Each structure stands twice: as structure tokens, then as C-alpha cells.
Amino acid sequence: MIEDKNPQRTSIAQLGEFGLIDHLTKNFEINQPSTLKGIGDDAAVLDFKEKKVLVSTDLLIEGVHFDLAYMPLKHLGYKAVVVNVSDICAMNAKPTQITVSVAVSNRFPLEALDELFAGITHAAREYNVDVIGGDTTSSQKGLIISITAIGEA
């Protein structure tokens, strides 16, 4: 197999913030009955009826929590979800939703974020959690990922 020496590199600036959000979130599905409104508005709307709600957040910073020389972006996306989902499970609760926030420098093309979000999507499907929102912003250097997991008991 011949390796492509010049893979496609789409600048994130070409999409703009809302175009990037639409692009990165197009594969997320809503499966939880407690999710009334997910991505696409100012805030998500959840209805847990009479259940207790658990919330856990983790921040992963390049150079502190991971090194991209050793961690493929798809694996990083998967790991970012799983470390949060496991916190909800550790409390004997059922994870139901997550939010995903990323700060990314201009050294990352769109295709790199596609890989990261492929891992996030895979983990969300595997653990049956809805991705209901988050945030995107720029970073001076490197990659920062924040996942908030929500669950019910």
C-alpha cells in the first residue's frame, strides 16, 4: 500500500465555529429518554423524573495528560469519554449523557478533529450515552479536551 505523503488538511477556519460544530456532531444520535433537547440550542434539556442525577467532569491537557506522539487521536477521543463514564459507573449509577468541549490550536486540521470525534462517537455508542452539547474554542498551542458525564441513579 502506498502511503499518501500529502494527506488532505482542511483548515478549521474555513468552516467557522458553527460549521465546525455541525460537522463534528453530525453522527451523534439521541437514545436516552431523559434527553429532551440535545445539541443545537443554547442548552440541553434533560428530564430525570424522580431519579437522582450525577455529574462528573474531567479535563485532559496535551503534554500533561496525554502525548500525541504515543496516543492516536481516535484512541484519545475514546479514552476521554470512558474515563468520565467510568466515574458515573463507579458510583453505581447509569451514565446517560455527556458534553464534549475542545480547545484546539491551528496546528490541527479538520481531519485531526474528525479522528478525535470518531473515537468519541464510538465510545458514546458503546456506552449508550447521548452527546448533548459542549463547546469549541481556539488554543494558543496544543489540544485540551473536557468531558462532562451525566448519569442517573
Residue 123 lies in a domain: yes
Q: Can you give the CATH number for the domain in which 132 is found?
A: 3.30.1330.10
Q: What range does the domain containing 110 cover?
A: 14-152
- Between 73 and 16, name the one with better pLDDT: 73
Cβ neighbors of 13 (< 8 A, separation 6 or more) are 106
pLDDT tens-digit profile of 49-100?
Answer: 888 888 888 999 999 999 999 999 999 999 999 999 999 999 898 999 999 9
Residue 29 lies in a domain: yes
Taking residues 120-141, what's their average pLDDT? 94
Q: List the beta bridge partners of residue 19.
A: none
pTM above threshold 0.85 = no
> Given the DSSP bridges, would you call strands 143-152 and 94-104 parallel, antiparallel or unpaired?
antiparallel
What whole-number percentage of the chain has pLDDT above 90? 58
* pLDDT-derived band at 9, boundaries 50, 70, 90: confident
Give the length of the chain. Answer: 153
* pLDDT-derived band at 42, boundaries 50, 70, 90: low
Number of domains in the chain: 1
Residue 20 lies in a domain: yes
- Kindly list the distances between the CA atom of residue 95 and the CA atoms of 4, 42, 57, 86, 130, in Å, as whole numbers in the listed order: 40, 22, 13, 8, 9
Taking residues 119-147, what's their average pLDDT? 95
